[in-house]
Structure 1
Amino acid sequence: MPSLFDPIRLGAIEAPNRILMAPLTRGRATRAHVPTPIMAEYYAQRAGAGLIISEATGISQEGLGWPYAPGLWSDEQVEAWKPVVKAAHAAGGRIVAQLWHMGRIVHPDFLGDEQPVSASATTAPDAAHTYEGKKPYAEARPLRLDEIPRLLADYENATRNALKAGFDGVQIHAANGYLIDQFLRDGSNFRDDAYGGSVENRIRLLTEVTQAVAGVAGTDRTGVRLSPNGAIQGVDDSNPEALFGAAAAALGQIGIAFLELREPGPNGTFGTANRPPVAPTIKRAFGGPLVLNSDYDGRAAQAALDAGVADAVAFGRTFLANPDLPRRIAEDAPLNKDVAKTWYSQGPEGYIDYPTLSDAKAA
């Protein structure tokens, strides 16, 4: 079985190791969703990852409802991403852009008080992050059939912009209760048209978005993220094995470069499993490189590779706090603890000031 430190081919991307950096929202862009120079240092520091998956990045203003999160729909955003990507490449890294439409998780404050869109007229639980603090979510309106071509065009535009900015590819965010996940699961999709009801219909938007994105980037530079196990942001499914098995098979037929799963275990930090893992079913159905994510440490990640349940593992909060994570795993060195209060704050604190092993030895 491979080691975490063996290379792996993810479509057109040659990753030098199997320790990937998971997408992590950090809130360091501007209010116009334009990347800032500090982001270049952050990603360059973490270029030792086999592949960096960028923070979730909005495909349109309609789809982005997180304060200070970056976008990829305007020329200004593309130009600001270029030095960020260049810095990651100069440090020896590979980086793909994660494409994000939040659906009903977008608060109307971000939309000029218009309703957010979703699969159906539903309201997310809890509260939204806004520039004025947390506010209750608003009811979403169902995305109309005549709007789907425009949505696909938004994904295509963001993909073209990612390539213009220099990214090595893109990942479609179809997980965590956001728009595509809202269409996938029967706990949030109550449609009676071609995008609702049967599993075949509920995976339709995912496959159409993937085909649209791959038509621009190429299948060998397109990845997808799914979250198959348990409720998240009020979204769940009554039969995840059937749903995500069919989704994985469809993605395998399209021939995407890799599939990443956020699937928490029974003691997950953010979300817990209420059913057995769906990953084995997904791996069989997909047939391509499978990346697992959620609460892994180095030993558990290697065990997943040894068991053949994963081809690589994506690390989130541990990469946030340990820019040299692959070295720390290789040396079985202690890890910095992430500081929750600076996850989404502005500025360098808790962003680019986590010490490396070399920093600690020099101190």
Structure 2
Amino acid sequence: MAHLFEPQVLGGTVPLKNRIVMAPMTRTRTSEGDVPNELMATYYGQRASAGLIVTEAADVAPSSKGYALTPGIYTQAQRQGWRLVTDEVHRNNGTIFLQIWHVGRMAHPSLMPNGEAPWGVTEERAENSDVFAHDADGKLGYVRAGRPRSLRTDEISALVETFSQAFVNAREAGFDGVEIHGANGYLFDQFMNSVLNTRTDRYGGARVEDRTRFLMEVVDAAVRQLGPGRVGVRLAPFGTFNSMPADPLAAETLLYVSEQLGRRGVAYLHLVYELMPAGNMETAEFKARYIDHTLLAKVRAAFPGAIIWCGGFKSRDNAQAALDTGLVDLIAFGRPYIANPDLAERLKHGWPLAEADRSTYYTRRGEVGYTDFPTYPIESSARRPD
């Protein structure tokens, strides 16, 4: 069985020093123009002991913005800002992939170019979900997502080229690879959902090949620009976040996508889910949140690359237990990385974990709650056997 602290090589190309992944987390710390800055470079550099860092999601174009103060990867200033980040991570012997997204309907006109409607797979609105944008008084806060307009077929093809340029920009900014955000109710997820995607063109309808066509075209563009060993894809099987309807074809779609990504030599599949607990939990609520071993084993058989599991991990023991199933290769930690820049060392040595104040997650108060967390002093801790 794999050990949490042993090395891994992604796609036969990218060496990782351990199997711990820093999961992508939006932190809203950019400078004017959605430009990454030195503070962000410090933040990621502090966490470079992770085997792999996946950054917060970056917008591929102004139209892809769903949350204020999130970074982009489409201007020269943004590329230069990200170069500060990658250089700092690499100085600290880390490995970093850029997560790239388009939020689709999860946006608001105040964030869109010229105040236009968000872009959607259809015109159906995310009725019960909010985005971080400007309200009617111009104040930043959470507002209900706007009603989208349906993307035309030619606009989808053009958007593939937009992503392709973003991959070029990521390479020039010094990233080791990219992760395509296909989860959590954003644009790719919207296309793949068989209930939401009622399009009648080649990007929609009942056929899984059509609903996943947009994602696969973007994956192909990423592989062309970066090579297959430097591309990952994030999915959230059965997720209902951001007002996504429950999809009766979710398992079929997951297995098809896994097989197709495997054919393309994609380095890893990043799954956001919780494993079905023991006992009789076969309710609709639990089926929406969990994936069982049987289905995960089918994913494992269909996809030859690495599988990352992100599902609320908070300790060394439950992370190792997940690896011990033999069904996944790496474990992603999210919130624990906020207050513990040295999380990998803390997990390895059994040192206590700090807790972050949730009110600082998205604050604009500079380093407060962002880069001001200390590493654990080795000399005052009892070392845990490895």
Does the alignment pair 1:60 with 2:78?
no
Q: State whether structure 2 residue 125 is matched by structure 1 residue 120.
A: no
Task: Please report how far the alpha carbon of residue 126 of structure 1 lies from its aligned counterpart in structure 2 after TM superposition.
Answer: 2.4
Q: Which residue of 2 aligns with 1:339?
A: 357
Bigger shift: 353-362 or 117-126?
A: 353-362
SS in 2 for 1:9: strand
Equivalent residue, structure 2, for 1:144: 152
- Contact conserved, 2:108 with 2:145, CA < 8 A, in 1? yes
From the superposition, tell whether residues 273 and 264 of structure 1 become closer, same or farther in structure 2 (CA, over 3 Å).
farther
Runs of 4+ in 1 over 6 A off after TM superposition: none
**Aligned equivalents of 1:77, 1:308: Cα separation in 2:** 39
State the alpha-carbon separation in 2 of the partners of residues 192 and 226 from structure 1.
24
SS of the aligned residue for 2:43 comes to helix
Moved more, 279-288 or 112-121: 279-288
Secondary structure at the residue paired with 2:321? helix
**Cα offset for 1:280?**
3.0
Unpaired segments ≥5 residues, structure 1: none
Structure with max Cα Rg: 2
Counterpart in 2 of 1:349? 368
Q: 2-side partners of 1:300 and 1:106: how far apart?
A: 35
Secondary structure, aligned partner of 2:68? coil
State how 1:165-244 maps to structure 2 within 5 Å: 165-197=173-205, 198-235=207-244, 236-244=246-254
Match in the other structure for 2:164 = 156
The two structures have a TM-score, normalised by structure 1, of 0.95
What's the C-alpha RMSD, in Å, of the aligned pairs? 1.8
Following the alignment from structure 2 to structure 1, what is the Cα–Cα distance between the partners of residues 120 and 300? 28
Tell me, in whole angstroms, the C-alpha distance in 1 between the residues paired with 2:196 and 2:84.
39
Aligned pair in 2 of structure 1 residues 360, 115: CA closer, same or farther (>3 Å)?
farther
Decide whether the 8 Å contact of 1:175 with 1:227 is kept in 2.
yes
| Kept in 1: contact 2:37–2:84 (CA 8 A) | no
The one-letter amino acid paired with 2:250 is P
Displacement of 1:361: 4.3
Cα 1:272–1:330 change in 2 (3 A) is: farther
CA–CA distance in 1 between the matches of 2:26 and 2:185? Answer: 15
Offset of 1:283 from its aligned partner?
Answer: 1.9
Partner amino acid for 2:68?
P
Q: Percent identity?
A: 38
Is 1:34–1:76's contact at 8 Å kept on the other side of the alignment?
Answer: yes
208-217 or 336-345, which deviates more: 336-345
Verify: 1:22 aligned to 2:23, yes or no: yes
Whole-angstrom CA distance in 1 between matches of 2:198 and 2:316: 41
Kept after mapping to 2: 8 A contact 1:51/1:94? yes
Are the structure 2 counterparts of residues 147 and 332 from structure 1 closer, same or farther at C-alpha, using a change threshold of 3 Å?
Answer: same
Which SS does the other structure have where 2:146 is aligned?
A: coil
Name the TM-score, length of structure 2 as normaliser: 0.89
* SS class of match (1:103): coil
